[in-house]
Amino acid sequence: MPGEKEKCMKVTAKTVADFTKGELIGNPDIEITDVSKIEEGKKGSLAFLANPKYEKYLYNTEASVVLINKDFQINGTVNATLIRVDNAYDAFTSLLELYTKMVPEKKGIEQPSYVDPSAKLGENVYIGAFSYIGPGVTIGNNAKIYPQVYIGDYTQVNDNTIVFPGVKIYHGCYIGHSCVIHSGVVIGGDGFGFVQQPDQQYRKIPQVGNVVIEDNVEIGANTTIDRATMGSTIIRKGAKFDNLIQIGHNVEVGENTVIVSQAGIAGSTKVGSNCQLGGQVGLAGHLKIGDNVKIGAQSGVSNNLKDGETVLGSPAFDVSRQVKAMITYKSLPEMSRRIAELEKELKKLTEKNKGE
C-alpha cells in the first residue's frame, strides 16, 4: 500500500515549475512523490540548493528534481531535472507549505473527550481524544486541538490555531489567530512569586493575571509561559520560540522576535520587536531590551540594552569588545609566561645595579 506521502503528493516537474514561476531544465513530465535534502535525495523526490557549500551534492544527488537559484553557475554534469527560481529556499518553503495543506485535515470531536456545554466551538474544529475543554472556552474556526490537551476555563483560542498533543493552557488565557503550539507547552502556570517572611519562610504571592499570545506566534515543545501577577504576560504577533524556553511573569516579547532553545527571561522584562536571542541566553528581571537587538548564545544580560545593540558573553556587552576580550583571554597563559620571564630579567638587572 502507498504511504501517506504518496497518497497526498504526486505532481510533475512542470507543475512545480509553474507554481514557482521557474525555468525548467530537463524532463517536464518526471513525477515527484516526496521531498528530501539534496544530500539525501532519492528517486521521485524534490530537493533544493541554496547554500553553495552543498553544491557538490548537485552532481550526484538521486533527487529527481532540484530547485536552484537563477544566478547559480553549474560546474558539472547534473542528472536531475532543474528548476531555476529567484530564490530556491523561498520557493522550496512555499512548496512545503502547499505540501502540508495536501494532508487530509482532521475534523470533529473524538471520544473520549470532554467539552463543557458552555464552551463555544467554531466551524471545522478538531478536538482530539482525551482532551478537556473547560467552561466558557471559545475555540475559533478551523482550530485543531490534538489529543490530551487541557484548555482551562474562559480561555480563548482563535481561528486556524493548532495546539499539539499534551499542551496545557490554564484558565483565562488568550491565544491569537494562526498560532502553532507544540507538545508539552504550558501556558498560564503561576509566575515565580514569593515573599520571604520574618521567620524565613516564603509566602506565595497570588498570580491573578493571564497570558496573551497574539497572532501568528509559534511556540516550541516544552516551553513554559507564566501568567502575570497582575495584568498580562504578552507575546506579540509573529514571535517565534524554539523548544525549552522559560518566560517569566509579566514579561513582554515584541513582534517578530525569535528566541532559540533553553533561553530564559525573568519576570517583568520587556523585549522589543525584531530581536534575536541565541540558545541559553538568560535575561535578568525588570530589564528593557530595545528593538532589533541581537544577543549571542549563552549570554547573560543584567542591564538594559538600546535599540540595535549586538551583545555577547556573560556578563554580556558589545560583541566587538567581547571578541577582543576573548582573544586576550586565550592569550593569558602566554602573557603570564612572558611576564614571569620579564620579572626574572628585571630581578637580575636590579641585583646587578645594586652590585655596581
What is the C-alpha end-to-end distance of the chain, expressed in Å?
A: 100
Q: What pLDDT does residue 328 have?
A: 78
Tell me the pLDDT of the chain (356 aa) as tens digits.
344 444 456 899 999 999 999 999 999 999 999 899 999 999 999 999 999 999 999 999 999 999 999 999 999 999 999 999 999 999 999 988 887 777 778 889 999 999 999 999 999 999 999 999 999 999 999 999 999 999 999 999 999 999 999 999 999 999 999 999 999 999 999 999 999 999 999 999 999 999 999 999 999 999 999 999 999 999 999 999 999 999 999 999 999 999 999 999 999 999 999 999 999 999 999 999 999 999 999 999 999 999 999 999 888 878 778 777 777 778 888 888 888 888 888 888 888 787 66
What is each CA distance from 321 to 235, 278, 299, in whole angstroms? 32, 18, 14
- Specify the long-range contacts of residues 143-147, CB closer than 8 Å, at least 24 apart: 144/105, 144/106, 147/110
Pairing of strands 194-196, 202-204: antiparallel
Domains and CATH numbers, the chain: 4-101 (3.40.1390.10), 108-318 (2.160.10.10)
Tell me the C-alpha distance between 100 and 96, whole Å: 6
**Contact in structure between 285 and 302 (CB atoms under 8 Å):** no
Phi, psi of 67 (to 5 degrees): -85, 130
Q: What pLDDT does residue 346 have?
A: 87
Catalytic residue among 171, 177, 249, 286: 249
Tell me the C-alpha distance between 100 and 242, whole Å: 20
Q: What pLDDT does residue 100 have?
A: 78
Other C-beta atoms closer than 10 Å to the C-beta of 67 total 26
Q: Which amino acid is residue 185, in one-letter code? A: V
Tell me the C-alpha distance between 9 and 334, whole Å: 61
List beta partners, residue 258: 240, 276
Burial bucket for residue 100 (CB in 10 Å: 0-12, 13-18, 19+): exposed
**Contact in structure between 132 and 110 (CB atoms under 8 Å):** no
Known catalytic residue: 171? no
